Structure 1
């Protein structure tokens, strides 16, 4: 079985900390071959703890026919160097769907998401790619999770942090656009959790003419800042900010 997010990387990160069953938990079971995703990563916010993510592909029983059409079950766990039993877990059936717009890679994000003075979140970034060259569509979504006792709880669901889309003739004529979003911790809070300040930057590309005489024009929109506020259960996403 080939693990796209890197068994070699997992061994390098976890080998010195995890042993036996804990190390095995970093490796997806061989149920769907190359279409599964697995990774583990040290959690710098909490020394001695490691995050493990497993996404197992479940083919559509009707329409798959050997293609990457189906859904992904998501399993998350936090492991301790002192105990092979996970100290916190989370499972979501059919967390992501994959068809012509397919799940391409998954990464654990351990940036400094400090939601309260005592609580930090970690992220899962899921990258999707479309199959059309003339109507490209690539997206990356970010979800955040916090540890509460023996459970992991999602507090941000599929924030769209990257999007590349467009419509062109495959040679020159047409339009494409890229939007990139970054997160900073705000100075204000809602329901005890820090507000998230999201900066959106969009760049456009317009092509005109024939392949032999193609003119490309780049446009740069003014960055836009948006505050995401916690409603007591999760951060509320404005329209257009949530991925598929």
Structure 2
């Protein structure tokens, strides 16, 4: 259910195409806004080539109905997608967020995939190795007189070094300096810097 529009339901579906091989497949993302009582579609879109699963496995799809108030009249909803790596010595995980708004019978993407959390590393599968993990929070900035409000992104990152000492394994964490970005709207969309982009 989408609280911003009572009586409506959001639906997100990964539409897989025929796999290229046993381990490689891709597909589109279908999004629908439905009248809850009748089941009638009110608005929809298909995002081509939005999902893929190969060396990085697609593992989850969630709807985000937090209060994404872009301006007094425009409320967005989010789609979160999760990926995990398949390599034991090189672990990888990442979650991404996209934002969409309703425009009549269409659902329009206003924020392309932005990585909101993740971790990666390289280790000997026993102890010794280096790892890094990050968490990013997004909040709406102050709206201008016209146009959409900016989105403020803040990042916390922790780097870890693990070293074997006899039968023990010692890990040392280092917190990186906090980082901050402001995504400014342009032509009704938010540009995502290279450092924040999803897969």
TM-score range normalised by the length of the shorter chain: over 0.9
Q: 1:15-54 counterparts in 2 under 5 A?
A: 42-54=1-13
5+ residue gaps, structure 1: 1-41
Matched, 1:116 2:71: yes
d(CA) in 2 for partners of 1:89, 1:211: 59
* Partner of residue 82, structure 2: 127
Please, which runs of 5 or more residues in structure 2 have no aligned partner? none
Q: What is the aligned partner in structure 2 of residue 143 from structure 1?
A: 98
1:183 equivalenced with 2:138 (yes/no)? yes
Counterpart residue number, 1:242? 197
Q: Which structure has greater strand proportion?
A: 2
Q: Which of the pair is proportionally richer in helix? A: 1
Q: Paired residue for 1:60?
A: 19
Q: Secondary structure at the match of 1:54?
A: strand
User: What residue in structure 2 maps to residue 219 of structure 1?
Assistant: 174
What is the root-mean-square deviation of aligned Cα atoms in Å? 1.6
The size of the alignment, in residue pairs, is 199
Equivalent of residue 229 in structure 1, options 180, 184, 190: 184
In 2 relative to 1, CA 131–189 (structure 1 residues): closer, same or farther, beyond 3 Å?
farther
CA distance in structure 2 between the partners assigned to 1:118 and 1:146 by the alignment = 11
State which of 56, 61, 66 in structure 2 corresponds to 1:106: 61
State the TM-score, normalizing by the size of structure 1: 0.77
CA distance in 2, matches of 1:177, 1:145: 30
Q: Select which of 79, 83, 91 maps to 2:38.
A: 83
Q: Tell me how far 1:221 sits from its aligned partner.
A: 1.7
Confirm whether residue 169 of structure 1 aligns to residue 124 of structure 2: yes
Pick from 140, 143, 156 the counterpart of residue 201 of structure 1: 156
- Judged with a 3 Å threshold, the aligned counterparts in structure 2 of structure 1 residues 211 and 164 are, in CA distance, closer, same or farther, namely farther
Query: Separation in 1 of the partners of 2:69 and 2:175?
Result: 31
User: Cα distance 1:81–1:188, how it changes in 2: closer, same or farther (>3 A)?
Assistant: closer
- With structure 2 as the length reference, what TM-score do the two structures score? 0.94
Indicate conservation of the 8 Å contact 1:191/1:231, yes or no.
no
Which residue of structure 1 aligns with residue 49 of structure 2?
Answer: 94
1:84 deviation in Å?
2.6
